[in-house]
Amino acid sequence: MIDRIVVTDDIFRATTAFPSDKRPNIVWLHNLMLENLAGLTEILPTTWFDNYWKTIGVAPSNDNWARYYFTLPTGGLIKEIRKELSSAVVIAFELSYLLQSALDANDIPWVDLGVSPIRFLEDLAIYFRFSRHFNVESMGEFFVTETDIQRGVNRVREFYKDVDPVWRGSVIFFAQTDWDMSLIGERGFYPMRGVVPKLKRLAAGRPLLVKPHPFMPNNVIVQLLQDKGGAKLAEANTYAMLAKGEGCTFATVSSSVGHEALAFGNDTVIFNEKMAAWIGGRKASLFCYRDRRFWSQLLSQVLNIKPVEESVGVQVNYLRNQINGYSFDKIIW
């Protein structure tokens, strides 16, 4: 019987970086859930965090987080998760395959949230995944459609219609921040040493440009591509390049821009296929994470909750103003 709503994140990530009550993703998600579930149920959400590195017999580190991200849980981990969460429904931010598998092994219902890689719509979207306990086939009104994405593409293209694409015909590589979750591959972090020769083969004489991540302009791969690959810095706005990418190849290890380039119909290469497949194809929404009607319909499938009729709808740049624009010009919308 479900008698708890627990909010957490990928507990194996940055385990030693934050105390359990100050992990930013847990705090943000808990505050969001507390507001949305107020009045819907007598079960108010609580935060949960535990350090299970000893349980799986590995020292906590970023490298081990990546190395074990796509592995199956040990029997000890399954047992500990059962003891902690057997009566809960779990609302999580960016579940790893490891933690998800431990929840599944114990038949614990979960909802996983994260920031969608499609970031050029009216607002940042939140992507969702659901455990087998939830059926959302009748809830399509809450989620982004292909029509919505195409409308966003058209809007961006119209905004940049008069820009001269000086990058025409180039291979454009989008760098990322260190320790980004999306850099995790089959057996740990993607081996960056192989990026330069791959890009040189991909360019095959075409101009090679590198676009630094706005949060980490001096990332080592940026300098490496300039020194060893003959790359030049891409000065143009990311979305201007996506809007006018004809004749270009957009390349990345696993940046969200790779997913966006595909949405724009551009020639796209994403080196880290494992993470691209893990992130791709998820349902996304511009508003349902803060919509009580959504949570009422969803959670009523696993616990008693009051029905709600009102819905909040899309609010332009609502989440973008809270988190970050990710190089997207907010005046587009």
Greatest Cα pair distance in the chain: 64
Query: 83 to each of 45, 69, 74, 77, 250, how far by Cα in Å?
Result: 18, 22, 14, 10, 47
Cα atoms in the Cβ-side hemisphere of radius 13 Å centred on 13: 23
The helix (run of H) or strand (run of E) holding residue 242 is helix 238-243
More confident residue, 250 or 38: 250
Return the domain boundaries, the chain. Answer: 4-144+286-326, 155-278
Q: Encoding tokens for residue 39?
A: 């009045």
- CA-based Rg of the chain, rounded to a whole angstrom? 21
What confidence score (pLDDT) does residue 153 get?
98
Helices 24-37 and 292-299: crossing angle, nearest 10°? Answer: 90
Rounded CA separation 172/150 (Å): 23
What's the average model confidence in pLDDT over 288-308?
93
Rounded CA separation 99/286 (Å): 26
Dihedral angle sign, alpha carbons of residues 219, 224, 225, 226:
positive
Task: Report the percentage of the chain scoring pLDDT > 70.
Answer: 100
pLDDT tens digits, residue range 109-165?
Answer: 999 999 999 999 999 999 999 999 999 999 999 999 999 999 999 999 999 999 999
Task: Report the percentage of the chain scoring pLDDT > 90.
Answer: 83
Rounded CA separation 190/185 (Å): 5
Output the pTM of the full model: 0.94
Which 3 state secondary structure label does DSSP give 70? coil
Q: What CATH code is assigned to 155-278?
A: 3.40.50
- Name residues whose C-beta falls within 8 Å of residue 3's C-beta, 6 or more positions apart in sequence: 43, 87, 88
Mean pLDDT of the chain: 94
What confidence score (pLDDT) does residue 217 get?
87
- Name residues whose C-beta falls within 8 Å of residue 175's C-beta, 6 or more positions apart in sequence: 210, 211, 212, 213, 216, 219, 221, 222, 252, 255
Among 16-30, 156-170, 283-297, the least confident range: 16-30
Rounded CA separation 162/314 (Å): 29
Query: 140 to each of 150, 155, 164, 284, 316, how far by Cα in Å?
Result: 17, 23, 39, 10, 20
pLDDT tens digits, residue range 212-243?
Answer: 998 888 888 999 999 988 999 999 999 999 99
Q: Encoding tokens for residue 296?
A: 């009422």
Rounded CA separation 34/45 (Å): 6
Q: Does 107 have pLDDT greater than 80? A: yes
